[in-house]
Chain A
Amino acid sequence: MNFPILSVITFLPFAAAVIMLMMPADRKTEVRGVALATAALDLLLAGWVYLQYLLGHQTGYQFIETYNWLPALGISLKFGVDGMSAPLVLLTGIVMFTGVLISWGDFDEEKHLSAGIQDRPREFFAFLFLLAGGVFGVFVSLDLFMLFFFYEIAVFPMYLLISIWGWVKTREYAAMKLTLYLFIGSVVALVGALVMYWTQYQNTGILSFDMIQMESAGFSASFQYIWFLPVFLGFAVLGGIWPFHNWSPDGHVAAPTAVSMFHAGVLMKLGAFAALRVGIMLLPEGAKQWAWLIMIFAGVAVVYGAFIAFVQTDLKYMIGFSSVSHMGLVVLGVSTLNHDGLVGAGVQMFSHGVMTALFFAITGMIYDRSHTRQIPELGGMMKALPFAGVGFIIGGLVSMGMPGFSGFVAEFPIFMGVWGRQWLVAVIASISIIITAAYIMIAIRRVFFGPMPEKLEGHISPITALDKIAIFTLCSCMVLIGIFPAVMVPMVETGVENILRLLGGA
């Protein structure tokens, strides 16, 4: 593979961001055009990588590119994907593409309609693409230093995106809270990474941040016992792990639609993925010793998130807490450290990413038209926005874990895996399925069916064709995986085998 496809995927958004910033501020349509073209190209490339990996029945790390960046300290720009990260690269491509589509928006002064991003779209898309580039970078980096580099790049644009374009009431508070939480988490993990780097040097005499190299660094059991928690939890903060999840729903609510999609759809996976790759894969002994604690945290998140989501009246808060619950399932799957749980976690990351992106996209469309997100104040949307309604219902079915949709493919193995470890946790966590079904169905009934409140009558203008493309893209992914699990599961399994090998076949 001579064409550096992963570098292109990663650096294309950065290049596009620079180009967009160079364009005149009043050329809003052109800026959006560049953004959409870049996102589409990135999606195609990510899809190509995915298909190559899938259809070629590849295993291990593929598409590897290595450039020596700072040989004196063993820092290299090393990219590659495996069965765990390839779906996430594709997910990022999908969310980026649909995020741009729904941010295009629709502006009509007479109807008081201002959907999407109308204020300074140039800066918005530039910052969003910096974020996207950082996310791609984390998923494909095989070098710990570069992973941190991209990880931090993915964090700071969030502050700007939320505080500038977010919901006026809470944006300053939420943006700062989110940034501080994530920054604290990442620097704690960074200390762990530096300690690992020097310990590897002491053990083996190799000065390198290469993560494949570090897998055989021979960290002692006591070392892993001490440093596993800071590294794992430091990253897992971004994955919304309980009790460090508090920033996440606030952030979701305050963020503009496309950023919520990115935040819940991709960024939270970034945390779970980095916790898996750095925490579990590099410190497997520590993982074994602390798995019980992670399992408790995740179990609490699953149930607690579902209950809190149940009592929310704000649609975005509801989805925000349901994300905490679903991401809890991912971490729960990871904490089993067995085949089923890990495969489920891998698929759940993708499935939840697409599903939440869809939820937030539709919520954004409704809010832009009705100017409220309060579930009791809404109603009858099915007639006004039938396409969005169907999309929301499909998302709801995925969320409930219905067979035939990707949610089932993901959640079933997770519960199998948990059952294999500790049946009690599986029983408790399964309560969340019932609660989830309850709040999703209540929300669907109140928002989409029943009579439309009078003051909304006539104000709900139809969604644009671009919005429909976005909804269709997201829905089709979920249905496809639900019906043909073979398009993803075998691939994730190859990634899981590698993790299990590191865990010593536990």
Chain B
Amino acid sequence: MFTPIMFASILPEILILTLAVILLCVEPFWKEDQRRNAGWLTSGGLFLIIIVSLLFGQPGEPTSVFGNMIRFDWLGFFFKILFMFAAAVTALFLMDHEKAGQRGEAYLLLLASLLGMNLMAVSADLIMLYLAIETASIPLYILAGFLLADDRSTEAGFKYLLFGTVTSTVMLYGFSLIFGFTGTTNIYLLSNLFASGQISVALAFSIFALVLVGIGFKIAIVPFQFWAPDVYQGSPTPVAGFLSTASKAAGFAVIVRFFFVAFPDYAPSWTVILAALSAITMTVGNLLAMSQTNIKRLLAYSSIAHAGYALIGVVAFSQLGAASVVFYLAAYIATNLLAFGVVMAFSRVTGLEDITDYAGMSRRSPWLGLMMLAAFLSLAGMPPFGGFVAKVFVFAAGVQAGYTWLIIVGILNSILGVYYYLNTMKYVYLYRMPNEDEENHPILLTRPYAIALVVLVLGVILVGTVFAPWFSWSNAAALNLF
């Protein structure tokens, strides 16, 4: 009963699992000082898996496989590619992390979490979805608290665990209500049941709200954003980068599939709720980011704000809206990983994380300065970087859906964004190191960082200039939702 299409639908997952097993078998035989090579293995393996999946695992017509547990379509496929890319880059970043990079289990946990995220993107069934979410989350709880000797990291891990379990339990309660009232756990059957009037409107909205708690935590929108700054600051920086990109995108994958497919009839109402949340999220994220002094906290608040922008595409509830969300996330993943990558490269050499410590950075390392400029301008939404096109697309979707007020809020927010992103760049380019000669304090990049950062910069620029292929993939992903 195992057809080729079933094989193709989980091809990346099979390969990831294989990679994890290889890693598990090989790593103990390496000497202590060779263990960082696990990063090369993980990253190289993942890039290979991406290529193999693109060659042999492309979906055709959307189909449900494995007893309607998994949906094999472009939406899931494109998200999977994004997650694997993010994980591959994160593995490179992990390699030269002083405390985490030498330990093989970090890479193994990364792969396990990736496996869960991949399944989140394709789950067509509530049970599958819940298992996928937990598979993705539990390794991340451990990774966030990976630095046992560091109180902050332990706090981050514990905080993330507490918030995560509470919110996912609330979401699970929502799922159980669905099953209790409808007798099915298949997402694709729910819309008919909701439409047939068997379920009261009040109940439908309670379910919506309960599920939103769980997913809102994943994508860190207000009012479920409290964990983000502390966790990003405390956890090892590569993990924070992964949390703020892949994990957030996985949440959006679920939002797009679950809300668009299960609740289309109530869309006029829930889009209003999400529009309000989007406006609040952007505003809170940007306002709080302005007063931050720690660069990781600044990026944490900025990533909260970006979840708000991306929500505009969901609010639009149209094919262009869904496509623009996917496109936005693609651009955002590359951009934010780049930003975190620069922060990592900087703090690995200097051990510092405050914005004021970046004074004179462009003189210490002109290339790193330029990369940071690219990342921050892209976050601010300036061309020719990915952030600009992505923002224009979500705004265009919002205008099309008639949410002009939300776009105006978005625009005011991007102005706030420009202010604090440029203010940070002022330290990098304008100020000098106090009482030191910058030339004597270069910031040298190790090979994994150099590779990862160059790939990301090229990615950010390519998404921002040659945007046709990315958009047509995003569009293909959105095509089957309506």
In whole angstroms, what is the CA distance A83 to B251 when docked?
52
Nearest B residue to A122 by beta-carbon distance? Answer: B366
Asked if B411 and A187 sit within 8 Å, CB to CB, the answer is yes
Are the CB atoms of A187 and B414 closer together than 8 Å? yes
**Could you tell me how many residues of chain B have their Cβ less than 8 Å away from some Cβ of chain A?**
38
One of A144-152, A300-308, A369-377, A480-488 at the interface: A144-152
B432 CB, nearest partner CB in chain A, Å: 11
Query: How many residues of chain A have a CB within 8 Å of chain B?
Result: 37
Q: How far is the CB of A159 from chain B (nearest CB, A)?
A: 6
Chain B residues within 8 Å of A156, by CB: 377, 380, 382
A324 to chain B, nearest CB (A): 23
Chain A residues closer than 8 Å to B422, beta-carbon distance: 159, 176, 179
User: Is A489 close to B, CB under 8 A?
Assistant: no
B399 touches A195 (CB 8 A): yes
Minimal beta-carbon separation of B310 from chain A (angstroms): 17
Stretch at the interface among B99-107, B200-208, B351-359, B468-476: B468-476
CB pair A69–B468 under 8 Å, yes or no, is yes
Closest to A146 in B: B383
Q: Compute how far the CA of A401 lies from the CA of B362 in the bound complex, rounded to whole angstroms.
A: 46
Q: How many residue-residue contacts, CB under 8 A, span A and B? A: 86
Of the candidates A153, A188, A194, the one whose C-beta lies within 8 Å of that of B383 is A153
Known: A172-B426, A187-B411, A188-B411. A152 touches B419 (CB 8 A): no
Q: Is B399 a contact partner of A149 (Cβ separation < 8 A)?
A: no
Q: Is the CB of A191 within 8 A of B426?
A: no
By a CB distance below 8 angstroms, the chain A residues around B382 are: 152-153, 155-156
Q: Which residues of B contact A184 (CB under 8 A)?
A: 415
Complex contact B471–A72 (CB within 8 A): yes
> Which one of B320, B366, B407, B415 contacts A183 once the chains associate, using CB atoms below 8 Å?
B415
Contact A148 B471 (CB under 8 A): no
Give bound CA distance, A179 to B415, whole Å: 10
Bound Cα distance from A183 to B408, whole angstroms: 13
Residue contact A195 to B430, C-beta cutoff 8 Å = no
Measured between beta carbons, the chain A residues less than 8 angstroms from B408 are 191
B425 sits at the interface (CB 8 A): yes
Which of B383, B384, B395, B467 is the most central at the interface, judged by chain A CB atoms within 10 Å of its CB? B383
Shortest CB distance B398–A (Å): 8
Within 8 Å by CB of B399, from A123, A150, A152, A198, lies: A198
Shortest C-beta distance, B179 to chain A (Å), equals 39
Q: Is the CB of A160 within 8 A of B429?
A: yes
Q: In the complex, what residues of B have CB within 8 A of residue A150's CB?
A: 383
A190-B392 contact given A69-B468, A153-B384, A176-B419, CB 8 Å threshold: yes
Whether B400 is near chain A, meaning CB under 8 Å from some CB there, is yes
B11 located at the interface, meaning its Cβ lies under 8 Å from any Cβ of chain A in the complex: no
> In the complex, what distance in Å separates the CA atom of A194 from the CA atom of B408?
12
Q: Which residues of A contact B383 (CB under 8 A)?
A: 149-150, 152-153
Binding site for A on B (CB under 8 A): 320, 362-363, 366, 370, 373, 377, 380, 382-384, 388-389, 392-393, 395-396, 399-400, 404, 407-408, 411, 414-415, 418-419, 422-423, 425-426, 429-430, 467-468, 471-472, 475
Instruction: Name 7 interchain pairs, CB-CB below 8 A, sorted by A.
Output: A149-B384, A150-B383, A160-B425, A160-B429, A176-B423, A180-B415, A187-B415
